[in-house]
Copies of this chain bind each other. A is one copy, B any other.
Amino acid sequence: MNPDPTPANPFALPFDELDGAAAFTSEPVLVAARDVEAFAALTGDHHPAHLDPIWAADGPFGRPIAHGLLVLSQAVGTLPLDPERVIALRRLRDVVFKRPVGVGDVITVACAIGARRALDERTGLVDCACRIHDADGRLSVRAVIEVLWRREPASVAATDGDDEIAPVTRDRAGELRVLL
């Protein structure tokens, strides 16, 4: 008997079926020099550790490194979030930049579903424990990302009109109900 070669995408599962969900592992992702330059332009973070090869060669890491927030953002971007399940990032509870990612390095992301808790009948919060490794398998970043998960599929939740997406997480001020 062959094991299932394609485990279910955990980020497309119903909230109530997340126990024992398979971990997700990304394809390798190149953190290219052009990505670092684009991120600097987008954010205004032009620290020479990222952009100046001469400064960086004499700096604490010996070479240009990617912005930590770029690496984290690229890692989150690899997660196949089903928009009918995962509504939004809610919290980054602990992100540790353990080892810098060099410009031109390749990363791989592993992400496991952790604790979850229902907020109401329609939404819940789910911890996603992510580990970003470099091409040699060393841990570069670890992060616990809490995401807001819709508990019902849109087609079931839409019981109050033509809305395909139930606006259950929005109050009159546009603020998430689950504010901490």
Tell whether, in the assembled complex, residue B47 and residue A98 are in contact, meaning their CB atoms are under 8 Å apart. Answer: no
A44 contact from B65, B78, B95, B170, Cβ within 8 A = B78
CB of B49 within 8 A of CB of A83, answer yes
Q: Restricting to A80-109, which residues have a CB under 8 Å from any CB of B?
A: 81, 83, 86-100
Question: Nearest chain-B residue to A164 (Cβ)?
Answer: B58
Docked complex Cα distance between A175 and B98 (Å): 7
Q: Which of A41-79 contact B (CB under 8 A)?
A: 42-45, 47-49, 55, 58-62, 65, 67-70, 72-74, 76-78
* CB <8 Å contact, A60 and B87: yes
Q: Would you call A42 and B73 a contact (CB within 8 A)?
A: yes
In whole angstroms, how far apart are the Cα atoms of A169 and B98 in the complex?
A: 12
Among B88, B93, B97, B179, the residue within 8 A (CB) of A89 is B97
Binding site for B on A (CB under 8 A): 35, 38-39, 42-45, 47-49, 55, 58-62, 65, 67-70, 72-74, 76-78, 81, 83, 86-100, 138, 143, 163-170, 174-176, 179-180
Q: Please give me the 8 A-B residue pairs with the lowest Cβ-Cβ distance, nearest first.
A: A43-B77, A44-B77, A92-B95, A45-B77, A60-B169, A68-B89, A69-B73, A43-B73
Tell me the smallest distance from the CB of A46 to a CB of chain B, in Å: 8
**With A35-B42, A83-B49, A92-B92 as contacts: A60 and B168 at CB distance below 8 Å:** yes
Instruction: Show 8 A/B contacts (Cβ-Cβ < 8 Å), sorted by A.
Output: A43-B73, A45-B76, A47-B83, A60-B88, A60-B166, A60-B169, A92-B143, A100-B174
